[in-house]
Amino acid sequence: MTKWKPDDIVETTREVSYGGAVMRGSFHTALSQMVTVGCQIASILILSRLLAARDFGLIAMIGPVIALVAMFKEMGLLQAVVQKRDLTYGQLNALFWINIGVSLALTIFLIAVAPFIALFFGEPDLVWLIRVMALTLILTSLGGQHFALLNRRMMFGRIAINAGTVAIVTLGTSVIWALVSPTPWALVAGTVAGAIVGSVMVWAWVPWRPGRPAMAAGTGDLVGFGAGVTGFKLANFFSRNVDNILIGRVWGSTALGFYDRAYKLLLFPLNRIAQPLSQVMVPVLSRMQDEPNRYAHAFFRVFGLMQLAILPGVAAATAMADTAVPFLLGAQWAQAAPIFAALGIAGLSQPLANPTGWLFISQGRTTEMAWWGLASALVSCAAFAWGVQYGVVEMALAYACVSVAKLIPLWLLICRKGPIRRDSIRTRILPIFVAGVTTFGAILLVQDSLPGPAPVKLLSGAALCYAVFAACLALTPHGRQILTELRDLIGKALNRLQILKKKDTA
């Protein structure tokens, strides 16, 4: 095993073409997401038929607690490993032990306060569910720095395999457990199993091993960088999880179960797509900071294709919620359809908002990111607090409205400095937003006239949305660039398939 000195610089990548790294990473990410999102959808479809709404509601009550504690565990240090150009092995070792120490302390803390959390929600069954879920904090922290090294070195293939394997193990464990014992413990068991497998895999792939706990020069700067990321995540936590807390407190576990299923069916897959893309784009953009033209080109190349892939599908699902939810989850979940429709409006804004995180982190603007997160969270929490008193659907609608409204100040902030200039809002961002709104309006008008049964109606509605969205893009120069990029990618893929076929027949 190679022995590195504390002052040695951690290798980044040997890439000659970052464009090639983006496309290769995007390809691996797409394959990974076919597995992970597929597993998530399978989890929703299968487990919704095996478990009760209350089971999902109990786990949804735990989710915000674990997410909040996990943010303090990471402290933004994984992003610091990816972004810093001259990271040393001494600093890497220090970050590893900081993560381990903080994670262990938080795990013990969570185990101790579990009875008080259960008392807050009025659900005694939460005590041991929380205590076992707390173990995932220390399990994931063991592989955190190793995973960050994979990301820093742009080893996207291994990252994709790791994500896909964890998703399969999590789903398989939960389904098997639910078949034997249909309780919320099935969901806990899957999460714990996935955490173990994920950490074991990255240790097997990354040869670096931590030394004795020791601080290194420059570690404080990395912690400062991570503090900005943590500040944003903390604020984002409230805007993403206060809804669960309020619903669980005001309307109970069953209502929260319906909300959780609607949220997972729509917004969770969107986040699952954005997160792996972030693993590709942040290290690539971080290496292009001194090349603004390449930086902007790489960002908008992936950004445009991301919108083309996601927005029409979200528009179709949102407009046809009354058909989609009972068909996908079963008739017993029909009460989740109006919640799904309301959240779908927020879902239209997510693909446009999430990529700004790539820009904040790759440019080292984590303090601005944290302040934006705080302001955004305050607005979202106010919407939650206002809406929840009227009902779950009303709360989802309030969240959707503020999600769309926040797009304008967010993009004005991110374009204030850096390679992405403000004229991009008018020429690149706004046309995509208009295309999404137009597509949603079109499918909303014609959905009742689409032929049934449900699978045919959903497929025809989705096809119509993609056609309308592409037609809207074709009206603008940037939109035509996106369509041309898609055509070229399809052409390259077909050429590779032909080459492979010729090799097979030779």
Structure confidence at residue 1 (pLDDT) = 45
Q: 37, 272 in Cβ contact below 8 A?
A: yes
Q: Which amino acid is at 284?
A: V
Identify the burial level of 14 via C-beta atoms within 10 angstroms of its C-beta, where 0-12 means exposed, 13-18 middle and 19 or more buried: exposed
Identify the burial level of 494 via C-beta atoms within 10 angstroms of its C-beta, where 0-12 means exposed, 13-18 middle and 19 or more buried: exposed
d(CA 330, CA 318): 17
d(CA 332, CA 295): 48
Secondary structure, 3-state, 26-82: HHHHHHHHHHHHHHHHHHHHHHHHHCCHHHHHHHHHHHHHHHHHHHHHHCCHHHHHH
Annotated domain spans of the chain? 19-493
Q: Which two tokens stand for residue 333?
A: 């979940």
In tens digits, what is the pLDDT along the chain, a chain of 506 residues? 456 666 666 666 554 445 555 556 556 666 666 777 778 778 877 888 888 878 888 888 887 788 777 776 666 666 666 666 677 777 778 888 888 888 898 899 989 999 998 888 888 888 999 999 888 888 888 887 888 777 777 777 787 788 888 889 999 999 999 999 888 899 999 989 999 998 898 888 888 888 887 777 777 776 766 666 666 666 666 667 788 788 888 888 788 888 888 887 776 667 666 666 776 777 778 878 778 888 888 889 888 888 998 899 999 999 998 888 888 877 888 888 999 999 888 888 888 988 888 898 888 887 888 888 888 888 988 998 899 889 889 999 999 999 999 999 999 999 988 889 889 989 999 999 999 999 999 999 998 888 778 889 999 999 999 999 999 999 999 899 999 988 887 887 777 767 766 665 65
What angle separates helix 407-414 from helix 337-353, to the nearest 10 degrees?
20
d(CA 223, CA 363): 16
Of 297, 240, 208, 366, nearest to 18 by C-alpha is 297
Q: 99, 230 in Cβ contact below 8 A?
A: no
CA distances from 305 to 26, 278, 467 (A): 10, 14, 15
For residue 454, give the H/E element and its range. Answer: helix 454-473
Structure confidence at residue 16 (pLDDT) = 45
Contacts of 125 (CB under 8 A, 6+ apart): 58, 118, 184
Structure confidence at residue 450 (pLDDT) = 85
Beta bridge mates, 9: 88
Q: Which two tokens stand for residue 348?
A: 């239209």
Structure confidence at residue 21 (pLDDT) = 56
Q: Which two tokens stand for residue 340?
A: 């799904």
Beta bridge mates, 88: 9
Query: Largest Cα–Cα distance of the chain, in whole Å?
Result: 69
